[in-house]
């Protein structure tokens, strides 16, 4: 519950600080005194967008701070998830700086506005006059029924399943589009692929072919030069090998004189061995050289084919052509495997539809069970509120489409008077009747949601007299289980509060200020008498005020 509220430098408020109690609290004040300012400040604590124009003195920062007692509301996991220090008496603070920048804190830890908004849903429900009109909104109607039916976790499960379902549908559409495009290019891609595959390309083959082509195209020059080189090595008188062997004989005679000469002898021996091997390999290579015009033509054709493919595909080497083959194989495969891929994803879609059917059926069953109970409770409260003949009808039909919260379609209908026809609730009820219906709904929800605090902003619109008194009794009863704060113009409701605050405007030499004070017993009598008698406070009005308080 909200235990204290401090507002500084906000709109007409310079500095106020109030302490709040459990139970039913009343806030009264003349029109324009600043009740809406209080709600605006509370809205900032709950994550509403900050407005720089709301700062009273633009040279100072605006600070709004609320203390909340949360020990009974099992919020430890929320604080842990948001990486916040959990305190049973938690402080929320919102600041608007002169620069226009807004800051938010929970227990002095800076937080994002979204975190405030999340925490706010667990702490306070602010019912504005505008919200009464939402009774005719399907989303609001669903929210009421689902809250009473305790469908929250099931709704989250359904939304997760629906998200997966939509992903599959999108994937199916994307695949169909890809396959449509691939089908148009299939013949051309297949032609290119076959042309490349028939070339039997392998990494490094271009270099091998170019080397073989040079050999076959220069047989005579190779033979002539190899033969000459071999002769120069093998001639008995001037051949290189014979000369080196003579050198070896000379060095062998002096090798014994020192390690240096021994090294000369060993090195010349190595040279002779290397030249012997080289001569043998050159002889073998020359023996294998022969003119082969057919092979030369075949190698030349293969080279020209590769060169043409490189030019056609703008590739610098065979490796890039191999990458193009892989890409074309994938594109062709998409088309050739189209049916099996579509069938696979269609199967997944059908399986997910079964999952959604199961969850949406549970939602429907839960709603169907709670609707008659909700109607009975609502009609009973409306009877107490002066609508004895009001009848509520809720049509719940399950369709085939998967909607955001199941497959159900929901509509509330009201027959406000005896013998009247059912009409959509927003068309069948007057402003006062809508207020009473909303109070009935809120009182039922309060028992289910167990929110710490609910604030009503003029829930009494369009009612008076005995009906207002009944409203006050319902609000007081709600206050037995939670903190209820009501902003009201009606003394019949104001008299039911356990505590009573008055908002008023006061002029000083500089500016007008909004202030708030808590009224004691005698002050409450005077305030109620003023509400009863207008601008005058007669003895009869005071007597009536005392009777309302008693």
For residue range 323-375, list pLDDT tens digits in order: 888 888 877 776 666 677 788 899 999 999 999 999 999 999 999 999 999 99
Residue position matching structure tokens 């199961």: 358
Residue 427 to residue 412: CA distance in whole angstroms: 11
| Helix/strand/coil for 70 | coil
**Six-digit token pair at 450?**
């167990």
Give residue limits of the domains in the chain.
1-127+450-519, 186-331
Segments in the chain below pLDDT 70: 129, 182-183, 232-239, 246-247, 334-338, 449, 534-536
pLDDT in the model for residue 426: 82
Chain mean position to CA 347: 27
Say what the alpha-carbon torsion angle 290, 293, 299, 303 is, to the nearest 10 degrees: 130
pLDDT in the model for residue 365: 96
C-beta of residue 1 within 8 angstroms of C-beta of residue 69: yes
The 13-19 sheet, strands edge to edge = 13-19, 2-10, 62-69, 89-96, 102-106, 109-110
- Of 82, 65, 72, the residue nearest 123 (C-alpha): 72
pLDDT in the model for residue 235: 65
Spell out where 34-181 has E strands. 62-69, 89-96, 102-106, 109-110, 124-127
- Of 508, 457, 484, the residue nearest 128 (C-alpha): 457
Residue 65 to residue 44: CA distance in whole angstroms: 10
pLDDT in the model for residue 180: 75
> Which residues, in sequence order, are bridge partners of residue 90?
68
The single-letter DSSP state of residue 131 is: H
Burial class (CB in 10 A: 0-12, 13-18, 19+), 102: middle
Give the other-Cβ count within 10 Å of 534's Cβ: 9
Burial class (CB in 10 A: 0-12, 13-18, 19+), 306: buried
Phi and psi at 450, nearest 5°, equal 55, 40
Residue 490 to residue 528: CA distance in whole angstroms: 9
pTM for this prediction:
0.66
- Of 140, 300, 286, the residue nearest 227 (C-alpha): 286
**Six-digit token pair at 542?**
């005071």
The architecture that CATH gives domain 1-127+450-519 is: 3-Layer(aba) Sandwich (3.40)
Chain mean position to CA 81: 16
What are the counts of helices (DSSP H) followed by strands (DSSP E) for the chain? 19, 15
> Which residues, in sequence order, are bridge partners of residue 124?
453
- Please compute, for residue 427, the number of CA atoms within 13 A of its CA located in the half-sphere on the CB side: 8
């Amino acid at each position: 519950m909200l235990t204290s509220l401090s507002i500084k430098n906000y709109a007409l408020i310079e500095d106020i600080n109030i302490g709040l109690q459990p139970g039913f609290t009343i806030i009264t004040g003349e029109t324009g005194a600043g009740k809406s300012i209080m709600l605006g400040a509370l809205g900032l604590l709950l994550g509403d967008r900050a407005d720089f124009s709301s700062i009273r003195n633009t040279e100072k920062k605006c600070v709004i701070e609320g203390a909340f007692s949360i020990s009974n509301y099992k919020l430890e996991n929320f604080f842990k998830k948001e990486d916040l220090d959990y305190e049973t008496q938690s402080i929320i603070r919102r600041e608007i700086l002169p620069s226009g920048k807004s800051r938010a804190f929970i227990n002095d830890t800076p937080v994002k506005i979204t975190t405030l908004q999340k925490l706010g849903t667990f702490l306070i429900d602010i019912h504005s006059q505008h919200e009464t009109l939402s009774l005719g909104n399907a989303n609001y109607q669903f929210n009421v029924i689902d809250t009473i039916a305790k469908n929250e976790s099931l709704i989250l499960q359904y939304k997760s399943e629906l998200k997966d379902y939509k992903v599959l549908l999108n994937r199916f559409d994307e695949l169909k589009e890809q396959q449509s495009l691939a089908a148009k290019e299939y013949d051309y891609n297949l032609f290119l692929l076959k042309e490349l595959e028939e070339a039997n390309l392998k990494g490094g083959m271009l270099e091998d072919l170019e080397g073989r082509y040079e050999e076959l195209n220069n047989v005579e020059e190779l033979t002539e030069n190899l033969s000459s080189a071999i002769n120069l090595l093998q001639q008995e008188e001037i051949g290189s090998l014979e000369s080196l062997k003579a050198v070896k004989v000379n060095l062998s005679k002096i090798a014994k004189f020192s390690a240096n000469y021994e090294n000369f002898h060993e090195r010349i021996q190595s040279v002779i061995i290397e030249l012997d091997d080289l001569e043998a390999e050159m002889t073998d290579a020359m023996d294998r050289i022969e003119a082969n015009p057919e092979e030369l033509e075949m190698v030349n054709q293969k080279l020209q084919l590769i060169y043409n493919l490189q030019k056609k595909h703008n590739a610098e080497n065979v490796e890039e052509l191999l990458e193009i083959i892989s890409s074309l194989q994938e594109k062709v495969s998409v088309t050739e495997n189209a049916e099996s891929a579509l069938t696979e994803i269609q199967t997944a879609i059908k399986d997910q539809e079964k999952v959604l059917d199961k969850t949406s059926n549970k939602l429907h069953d839960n709603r169907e069970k709670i609707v008659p109970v909700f109607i009975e409770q609502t009609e009973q409260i409306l009877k107490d509120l002066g609508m004895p003949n009001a009848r509520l009808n809720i049509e719940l039909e399950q369709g085939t489409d998967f909607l955001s919260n199941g497959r159900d379609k929901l509509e509330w209908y009201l027959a406000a008077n005896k013998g009247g026809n059912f009409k959509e609730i927003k068309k069948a009820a007057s402003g006062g009747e809508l207020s009473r219906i909303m109070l009935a709904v809120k009182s039922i929800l309060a028992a289910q949601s167990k929110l710490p605090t609910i604030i009503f902003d003029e829930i009494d619109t369009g009612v008076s007299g005995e009906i207002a008194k009944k409203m006050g009794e319902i609000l007081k009863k709600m206050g037995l289980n939670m903190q209820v704060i009501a902003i009201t113009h009606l003394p019949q409701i104001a008299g039911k509060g356990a505590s009573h605050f008055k908002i008023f405007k006061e002029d000083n030499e500089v500016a007008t200020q909004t202030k708030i004070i808590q009224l004691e017993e005698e002050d409450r009598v005077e305030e109620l008498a003023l509400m009863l008698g207008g601008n005058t406070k007669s003895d009869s009005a005071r007597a009536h005020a005392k009777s309302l308080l008693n």
